[in-house]
Amino acid sequence: MNDRVAAGAVELPQFPHSFRYLTVHGIYWRLVVAAAIPVIAGVLRGGVPALILVVASVTGAVLADLLAAALLSGQSALPSEGRAVYLGLVVAALLPVSVDPVIATAASLLTVFAGVWLFGGPGRYWIHPSLVGIALAGALVPSAGTVLEGGGATLFSFLPELLSQAVPSLEHFLLEPLGVRVPREAWSLILGETGLSGSAMTAGLVWPSLLGAMIVFGEDLAPAVTSLLFLLSYLGLVWLLGGLPLGEGLAGGDPLQAMFMTNAVFVLVFVLADPGSRPSSRGGMAAFGILAGSLAALFWVSREVVIPATAAVFIAGFFIPLLDILVCKVRRW
């Protein structure tokens, strides 16, 4: 370990079960920049209500961090190396624009307490704290209803229009020979041209892809491995169980529409971006991707779960320690 890495390791605590030791100083400030991409897209789409939502979420996260620091450690400055701001932006990006700012503030407060302070600061957790905070806020506030929904958002119209010009060629040369027909509504979700009623501030495929690229090239390639396995297993099982292109058991008979309506890409990228929530090995990440993707597909086809991708990540997250143990044993054999 060279001097630079050693210095970073001293400033931020290491936790032995992470895929990569948290030796990179300022990683959460980098994730703040990454999280700002879909948030800015949502603000440009949603206007003042979206901006109020973002301000409420980030303010709640920062206040929770300051309050916990003062009560628990006697510190007066932000102690979490930008993690509170990052979590506040994540909450804002995952919430529908129609959510009351009070609920957004409560969700970010609970998120910071769960992710930064409840488990003793930056370290290992099984479920991404943003999902915990949003779920708790929805449970504690009866009028909140469903606070996490899938959807798309529009940023600059020229980008979706430019991409949509390539859609007919893509369908004709690549998808039609495979017997696949993608509805126009699905392409709209993917490209961020339209959004569902009360949709989240994510922007279809375009902005989560940019977010993922920043994270992947900023740290390591492991999130890309798991994301690919998640999406392949999700698409494959929805395709098989849903009877594509007949559409039995699917809204519109299209797995791509199912994937983006459930916010699968965005949720997964954030879950795997934070070092505290990732499995400890590439094999564990691959297993997590297959498990979460398969569960999400089954949940979507069964129509018994409101938010299949999020529910699948919650459940699969509980198995991360078990996956780590199994992968270690397999390596020993």
Q: What is the pLDDT along the chain (333 residues), one digit of tens a residue?
A: 445 444 444 443 333 333 343 434 566 777 787 777 767 767 777 788 888 989 999 999 999 988 887 877 666 666 667 888 888 988 887 777 778 888 889 989 988 887 777 654 444 555 667 777 777 776 666 554 444 443 333 333 344 455 455 656 666 666 566 555 655 655 555 555 444 433 444 445 554 555 555 554 444 445 556 666 777 777 777 666 654 444 444 444 556 666 656 666 666 666 666 666 666 666 777 777 788 878 877 777 776 666 677 677 767 777 776 766 776 666 666
Same domain for 8 and 135? yes
Give domain status of residue 81, yes or no: yes
Single residue among 144, 170, 185 that ends a domain in this structure: 144
Same domain for 18 and 102? yes
Residue 173: predicted pLDDT: 64
> 106-115 pLDDT, tens per residue?
989 988 887 7
Residue 59: predicted pLDDT: 94
Residue 293: predicted pLDDT: 79
Give domain status of residue 266, yes or no: yes
Same domain for 131 and 14? yes
Q: Which domain holds residue 253?
A: 202-332
Residue 168: predicted pLDDT: 61
Name the strand (E) or helix (H) holding 325: helix 320-332
Specify the number of domains making up the chain: 2
Same domain for 248 and 133? no
Give domain status of residue 293, yes or no: yes
How far is it, in rounded angstroms, from Cα 288 to Cα 323? 7
Single residue among 144, 174, 194 that ends a domain in this structure: 144
> 64-105 pLDDT, tens per residue?
988 887 877 666 666 667 888 888 988 887 777 778 888 889
Residue 55: predicted pLDDT: 93
